[in-house]
Amino acid sequence: MAHDEKIIGSENPEHFTGLKLGRIGKVAAGVPAVMISFKQVFGEAGLLRGWKALHNLNQKGGFDCPSCAWPDPDDERSGIAEYCENGAKAIAEEATSKKLSADFFKANAVAALAQLSDYEIGRKGRLAESLFLAKGATHYAAISWEAAFEKIAAELNSLASPHEAVFYTSGRTSNEAAFLYQLFAKAYGTNNMPDCSNMCHESTSVALNESLGLGKASIKMDDLYQAEVIIIIGQNPGTNHPRMLTALQKGKRNGAKIISINPLPEAGLMGFNNPQNLKGILGIDSALTDLFLQVKITGDMALLKALQWLLLKAEENNPGQVLDNAFIDEKTEGYAAWKENILKEDINELQRISGVDWTDIEAAANMLATHKKIVVCWAMGLTQQQHAVNTIKEVVNLLLMKGSIGKPGAGTCPVRGHSNVQGDRTMGIYEKPAPGFLDRLATHFNFNPPREHGYDTVESIKAMHDKKIKVFFAMGGNFLSATPDTDYTANAIRQTKLTVQVSTKLNRSHLIHGEEAIILPCLARSDKDSRGGKEQFVSCENTTGVVQSSQGVLEPISNNLLSETAIVCRLAKATLKPNASMNWDAYENDYDLIRDAIEKTIPGFDDYNVRVRVPGGFYLPNPNREGDFATKTRKAQFHVAPVADIKLSSDELMMMTMRSHDQFNTSIYGLDDRYRGIYNERRIIFMNQGDMNARGLQAKDVVDIFSYFNGEERVARSFIVVPYPIPAGCTATYYPETNVLVPIDSVAAQSNTPTSKQLIVKVKLQPGN
């Protein structure tokens, strides 16, 4: 598959904003985080509007944070602030008083806006009315809601097949909107429902389903407080899930030991100053990690196997004292073959591939050998590698040999990214829906849903590129900036006839479009949603499977906004033939009716409308918590896989993309990454000093980065070299600036997730520097 030429406007501009270097942080949060949060929120929304939003954020009866999916405490929530710095920044984005009407787009051509950075685009304000970009037009213009739905419906109904349309979903879509959205797509006739999970935790879902029978976390929040050992691997909670630090600190104070495994020594892994207590304000008692294992990028599987090897040897020396043999015998299968395979491994090779010092590996194994209440937390650092599924299965293998699933203080904790990405999947947002779910939809709604699998995200991009997709509809998100191989994806999007984006703010995906484009502005999570003569509420599911209500409190910044739920209902009415079992008018005006339908078609939602109104919500059923495994044999599965050993030539480096502290996914809140000592710049490449020396590079040199895959070369130009304590042979950059380097065909086996944490690159001094 040939790589496309550069698409103008598909990437962030290749200019610098003025790098300033500071000290690398060792502790996250504290008073600075509080001050920055207030500055962001009050600067965008004003004091009264901003305070009202913060006061209700993540509170019982308030609204769910539109940022990450970290769960709220099961017991009492903080009356001071049940949110983190990045949650406050997310609220600043949607509570802003700045709004964009048709006059703004009349004055600003699409091509000119596309020359701005993602940060500059996002700072423009909230979208205030629906917009249309006609074929050949240079500017978006206002369009009525009725005309917009008529246009979309006419395009959809003109297609030769429903499979010529794709319906994408971002992770912030509520349960109610997601359920109706997937129902609409199936009633229309397709399972082409890619979502952001395809790009993040799909590897987790595949691995856990095959190993344990359920693709979700097995723990509750309280398990972190009871754990004896907590392993954090491939995750940076201080930036990506800051509220997690409070739970880790509570677990540590209860006696837990924390092992952190990561290529970078992140501030949030090392320490946490809780700004809600005196010790945190004074910087006392802030340490978190007891043992830091600095693994090489893609060395995680080798490290996990080395730990397993040492634990098996320890069991041989102390029979019955290290492993949970009763659990293994009663609850698992495949142990004998797995054990034989592990003991055949060359432990010295495993250590070499991992890059971790031998003494540190032994220290971690000793810590695990004497404890069985173990929780393992992970995120994108594991899921976005070619061997991601097998690596996560090694996490499960480690827990199974210790009997650390289905008991208090132990289990799996994949930490989800966007706030309702797990809920969307529960609601049926999936390109491979289960037959039983389709049967229930067919019975309740009196139609025949399509049975063939649809396109996931990578497959959708390829289908658009090959002109198999004519209409691309996105329920939220910034598809272009979130996806791999930026120029290829931009070229793919431009092959479509119509692109439709349901959005709260302007983003790059509005500016790289099909022949025609429509923007449908929607209510944000913090906005009041008044329909049918009353204020409606929606619900979300967090990382640990808690479903709770979310009700906005702010007056919308425009009268021309619709909720995502109302948008789906009106789209369905305009597009589909009438079906008495699908009362779209009723669903639009009473979200209780949607929840009634969910209760009848999705297990675990009994008495949905009653239980969701209980402050704090309710847990969905989770057999793994009870030591039950919904695999074919009703037993947890040990899996055997070869170790991933990726060899580089002397001029190659292994690169991973990551967030700065001033962003959440594709939302760029600012230009600082203060924990890493980076200020006012994003075009950065972090390098080991030895690797810099070998290439004759100095700090602040400007380089171009080249990636290579299947004989194709990709390039990201103009990045500033910053020396950093990262393992030799490894390097890191921010996304979306380097998404252009992620090949569309480089994906994780089984999950088809782009390998953004496994890019083989070469770094070359830019000519003239």
Q: Residue ranges of the chain with pLDDT lower than 70?
A: 1-3, 29-31, 77-81, 273-285
At 262-296, the pLDDT tens digits run 999 988 888 776 656 656 555 655 788 999 999 99
| CATH architecture of the domain with range 20-24+652-765 | Beta Barrel (2.40)
d(CA 75, CA 112): 50
d(CA 141, CA 105): 7
Q: Which of 510, 508, 511, 513 is nearest to 498 (CA)?
A: 513
The strand pairing partners of 333, in sequence order, are: 637
Tell me the residue length of the chain: 769
What does residue 738 show for φ and ψ, rounded to 5 degrees?
Answer: -110, 15
**Residue 679 vs residues 22, 269, 616, 688, 761: alpha-carbon distances, Å:** 7, 21, 38, 19, 25
Question: DSSP E strands: which ranges in 553-635?
Answer: 618-619
Question: Mapping DSSP to helix (H, G, I), strand (E, B) and coil, where does residue 655 land?
Answer: strand
The two tokens of residue 137 are 């037009």
Residue 36 CA neighbour count, 13 Å, CB half: 20
Contact between residue 204 and residue 417 where contact means Cβ atoms under 8 Å apart: no
Q: Which of 172, 754, 11, 757 is nearest to 456 (CA)?
A: 754
pLDDT of residue 2: 46
pLDDT of residue 1: 37
HEC letters along 428-460 = CCCCCCCHHHHHHHHHHHCCCCCCCCCCCHHHH
Positive or negative, the CA dihedral 626, 233, 172, 457 is negative
pTM of the model: 0.96
Where do the structural domains in the chain lie, given as residue ranges? 20-24+652-765, 96-199+420-522+562-602
Angle at 260 between CA 256 and CA 262, to 5 degrees: 170
**Residue 218 vs residues 368, 374, 583: alpha-carbon distances, Å:** 19, 12, 36
Please return the burial class of 74, using the count of CB atoms within 10 Å of its CB with bins 0-12, 13-18 and 19+.
middle
Q: Which of 287, 152, 84 is nearest to 567 (CA)?
A: 152
**Residue 731 vs residues 171, 588, 739: alpha-carbon distances, Å:** 29, 49, 15
How many CB atoms are located within 10 Å of the residue 756 CB? 23
Alpha helix ranges (H) inside 108-264: 110-113, 118-122, 145-157, 175-188, 202-212, 221-226, 237-240, 244-253
Whether 20-24+652-765 shares its CATH topology with 96-199+420-522+562-602 is answered no
| CATH architecture of the domain with range 96-199+420-522+562-602 | 3-Layer(aba) Sandwich (3.40)
| DSSP 8-state class, residue 31 | H
pLDDT of residue 79: 64
